[in-house]
Structures are given as structure tokens and as C-alpha cells.
Amino acid sequence: MRMKKFMNAPENLTAELLEGLVASHGDLIELGADNMVINRKLPGADRVTIVTQGGAGHEPALSGFVGEGMVDISVVGDIFAAPGPQACVDAIKLADKGKGVLYVVLNHAGDMLTGNLTMRQLEEYPEIKCVKVVTQEDVSNAPRSNSDDRRGLVGCIPTYKIAGAAAAEGKSLDEVAAIAQRFADNMATLAVAVRGATHPSTGAALADMGEDEMEIGMGQHGEGGGGRQPMKTADETADIMVQALLDDLSIEPGEKVMLILNGAGATTLMELFIIYRECEKYLESKGVEIVARFVGELLTVQEQAGFQMFMARMDEELLRYWDAPCLTPYLTKV
Amino acid sequence: MLLDLSAWRILLQAVADAWAENVERFSEIDSAYGDGDHGVTMGKIARLISREVGSPGATGETPGDATTIKQVLRRIGNGVMAIGGGSAGPLYGTLFLGLAAPLDPGAQATDAATLAAMIVGARAELSTITKARVGDKTMVDALAPAAEAAWEARGDGIVAVLGAAAQAAAEGADATANMIARFGRARSYGEQTVGTPDAGALSTSLLFKGLNDGLAKLGRA
């Protein structure tokens, strides 16, 4: 199958997309060495700073959230591939303003290897305080009791927001890490796909799905999740997924949640709005209130059709951090 | 027989060739039960090795300026680690640093026992960053038997060490076809992965095939 994507040489994808991202948001971010995307206000930061890492090809994630109130440096690997540990060590050294660095890593094999090697190499710099927080919230591939096996999906983005706001408020590194971890411990994501994407570097199909099939639980590189089934309506799909997230988080009537519908790349906002409307109704029927929400694209999987549904248990403090101002290329709050 | 720096350059170039020739096969396997980029990464690693050890005649590039075997392997290890190739970068970077670990900094040549110790060193170093064991359908299924076979053959000469390692690695990689993936992205597919070998085990078995091919080339030269 021939790939229809607007691109030049496959080996230049990451470099060219970062060049364009930074050129189109030059007031907020700049490109550093080794594919680092850096918050332009970082030099003057007198607070805990935030570093993350991950593969490219998921735009606007992760680098579209570099800026005030979220991420200070994002270290980008190649398409769907983690960067190496040396670049992350360099980024953490660059980010540290004497108040320590929160290092957010998504739970994927390559990212975790790089994360662990980075922390090991940082032991040579005892003057730099760094705490690693791992986001691992995919309910489809392991039970909550075995959360180390859960993949990190879109939950990294609200985690950046919460942690970034806590850092901006002047919290210490231990406090920022504890807040980020509390949020991460209370979040869950379930993905559904109806059509797979192609790998932009190779043109290979990432998932081969039947015309009338959908798969609940598909990961963000097209990896299977086991829930392949006949295509359902928007309302049926929404109800199944909301209930799975409520069950996973043990949300009780009267509780407040954040709900994010994250389009995977080829699912329309029309569909996401139809789904969202049903999520609100379903949650209302369960006595659960949505106090924070986002519908749109935060972390995509090329032209995969489908979406990730994210839910998090909220309290007053977490809500305050979610609502706090931020200014990044793809999320702004005033 | 001893392997000196110029012999190591030929062996490592043969590894790069073996990987470069199989780029599409790696991606094909990885697309079925992963994200399809193993070929891309192995191609990048192969080019990095070629740049480090390539002779002007073969690649049109001059070899790196490393003057010892340990330096060459460490430069490759650190370079691969930084390549940004998902899991494969840190894993193969660690493997090459593990190969270098048992060598004396000034060593100008390696004998069979040292070579076997290097392969065992690669296995040991890898175990510091991954908990994968034999049977988990990963590169360890090729590397661990290769290390055992190399160690057993350490008294029988370099040809025997690399021959045994290559054969054990190939058998180990073949055996992954019958396994259920327990690590990496393929893990999400569980039992569906039975019938397809592991892409990482295959690339590791080709590492040893490449070393062995390089040795044969050396014998002919």
C-alpha cells in the first residue's frame, strides 16, 4: 500500500516537523541541541522545572505543550521512538534552576529504558535534584494492581498541566512530584480504534482492522489491546468506555472527575462531540460530575481513527492547578 | 589466532552489513506486533557502526580515530545509546558497552577466552537494564544462549567461540517464534505473537552471524 502523506525524506521527518513547530510558535519555544524543544522563558525561571521525553509522530504531543505553566524542555526521539539517555541528562542539567527538576516519563519500553538510564547517569551530578514520575494509565493492558504494565497514553498531558501549575506556584520539588503523582495515581485512559495508521518512516500498516470492526484498548502506536469487536454506535461506545473507567477508578456517586476525549488523528470533532455529549449524560445518571474537560487532539497517532477517553478523580487542589494559567502552543488557559 | 583492531573493524563492519541487509525484514516483523520501526533503528545503528569502523574502500568513509578495541566498542555503544531508536538504542548501546567492559583499556588484541568473556559481559550488562529472561521473546533469547555457548567454547579458539555463539543465537531466535511476548510493545498482543519470531532476537542473532561472517572474510583475506 502506498503511503499518502505530505513529507520529504522519511529520515528527515522529526527534524523537519520540529523545525516547523518551533518556527510557527517562535514566541513561546525554541529548538535546542539534540532535538530539545525549550520554553523560551526557561532562562528566567526561579522554580521547579519540568522535563519530559518521547518519540515524535504524536503531534501536538509532546512538544506542543512546552511553554509557561507546563513543560520546560521536551526531549524528542525519532518517530514513535524514545530519545537516548544522554540527551535527557543534558536537558535536565539545562533545565535545573537550582530548585530541582520533575522528569515525566510515559510508560513505554523504550522510554522507560531511557528514563532509568538517565536517572542512573544523573547520579554523577549529585547537585541536581531530579524526581521521575511515570505516567501509566492504560486500563486495557493490565489491572490497576499491576500498574507497572500499564501504558502511558494521553494522561501525560494533564499531568504536565497539574505539575506545571504547582511548580509555577512555587511548590518545592517534593511537593510538585507528590501532586503530580497523586493525579497520576487517580487517572485512567481507555483507547478505541476503528482504523489503523501507517508508520510514516516505513509506510507499514500499524494495525490491520476489518471494515466493520473496532478495537477497544488499542495503544498509541497501533499495538493491540485485545478488545476487537463489531463496530458500535457513538452512545454504545461511550457508555462501555465511561463505565470501564469508572470501574477502574472506583468512582462513587458524588465524586468529581476530569474527562478528556483525545482524537487519535483521523476521528472528527463531530464524532468526539457526539461521544462527549453521551459521556456527560451517562456520568450524570451515575451521579458523577465533570468539573474539568477537554475535547480535541492532544496526542495523536498519525491518521489512526479512534480516540482515547481519559478520566481522573479530581479534588479542589487538582482542579485549581488544572484551571491555572498556562501559555503553550497547543494549550492556553488565561 | 588473535583479533586485533583492524580485524575487529572488519568483524563490526560485517555486523553492520548483516543488519543493513535485513532492515525490511525487521520492520515487517515489528509491524505485525509492534510499531514497525525496528528496521529503521537497526539501519541507523548499522550506519553508525559503518561510520566508526568503515574502511575507505568499503564505504568511502575514513574509520573513526579510536586506537583501541575498547575505544571502538565504547564509541559505538555510546553512539547507539544516543540514537533515539526507542528501546533498541539503549538496549544495543548497553550491549556494545557490555562487550567493551571486560577489555583492558590498552588491549591491542583479543584471544578466544577474552572474546567469550566479552559476550558474557554483554549479557551481564544488558541484565542491569532489563529484567527479560530466556523465554520472554526478546533479544535475550538470542544473547543468553550465545553467551553460554561462547563461554563453553572459550578454550577452543576464536573460530569455535564465534561459530558456537552464532549457532546458539540463531537457534534461540528461531525458538522465539513459539513464544508469547512478555516484554516491549509486542507484549500487548500476548498469544497472538505465537508463530512470529521476535524482531529483537532476530537482530541479535544477526549480530553474531555478522561477527562470524566477518571472521570468515578475515580468513579469506
What digits encode the pLDDT tens for the residues B43-101? 999 999 999 997 544 444 456 678 899 999 999 999 999 887 778 999 999 999 999 99
CA distance A274 to chain B (A): 29
Asked whether residue A151 falls in the same domain as residue A238, the answer is no
Find the CB nearest B84 among A84, A108, A202: A84
Domains of chain B, residue spans: 3-220
* pTM score, whole prediction: 0.87
Rg (CA), chain A: 19
- Statement to judge: residues A51 and A172 lie in one domain: yes
Same domain flag for A67 and A181: yes
CB atoms within 10 A of CB A12: 11
- What is the number of structural domains in chain A? 2
Chain B residue with minimum CA distance to A219: B188
Instruction: Using alpha carbons, list the distances in angstroms from residue A45 to A120, A132, A180, A323.
Output: 26, 20, 19, 21
**Superfamily of domain B3-220 in the CATH hierarchy:** DhaL domain (1.25.40.340)
Task: Give the pLDDT confidence score for residue A319 in this predicted structure.
Answer: 98
Question: What's the mean pLDDT when you consider all of chain B?
Answer: 91
Q: Residue A176: CB partners within 8 Å, gap ≥ 6? A: A48, A102, A163, A166, A167
Distance set, CA A303 to CA A13, A260, B114 (Å) = 15, 19, 50
Query: Is A56 part of any domain?
Result: yes
**Residue A21 is part of which domain span?**
10-186+323-333
Catalytic residue status for A221: yes
Q: Classify residue A327: in a domain, yes or no.
A: yes
| Domain membership flag for residue A131 | yes
Q: B-chain residues within 8 Å CB-CB of A149?
A: 187
Are both A196 and A181 inside the same structural domain?
no
Mutation to test the A interface, candidates B25, B33, B37, most A Cβ within 10 Å: B37
Nearest CA-CA distance, residue A215 and chain B, Å: 13
- Give me the pLDDT at residue B56, please: 46
pLDDT score, position A228: 87
Same domain, A154 and A197: no
Pairing verdict, β A36-39 and A326-327: unpaired
- pLDDT value at residue B86: 79
Residue A226: what pLDDT? Answer: 67
Residues of B in Cβ contact (< 8 Å) with A9:
none
Chain A residues with CB under 8 Å of B27 CB are 199, 202, 204
Residues A243 and A258 in one domain: yes
Same-domain check for residues A49 and A179: yes
Segment B152-176 shows an average pLDDT of 97
Q: How far is B169 from chain A (nearest CA, A)?
A: 23
Residue of A25, A58, A108, A199 marked catalytic: A58
Q: What is the ipTM of this complex?
A: 0.74
Q: Which residue numbers in chain A have pLDDT < 50?
A: none
The verdict on A327 and A306 lying in the same domain is no
Is the domain of A136 the same as that of A235?
A: no
| Mean pLDDT within B130-159 | 96
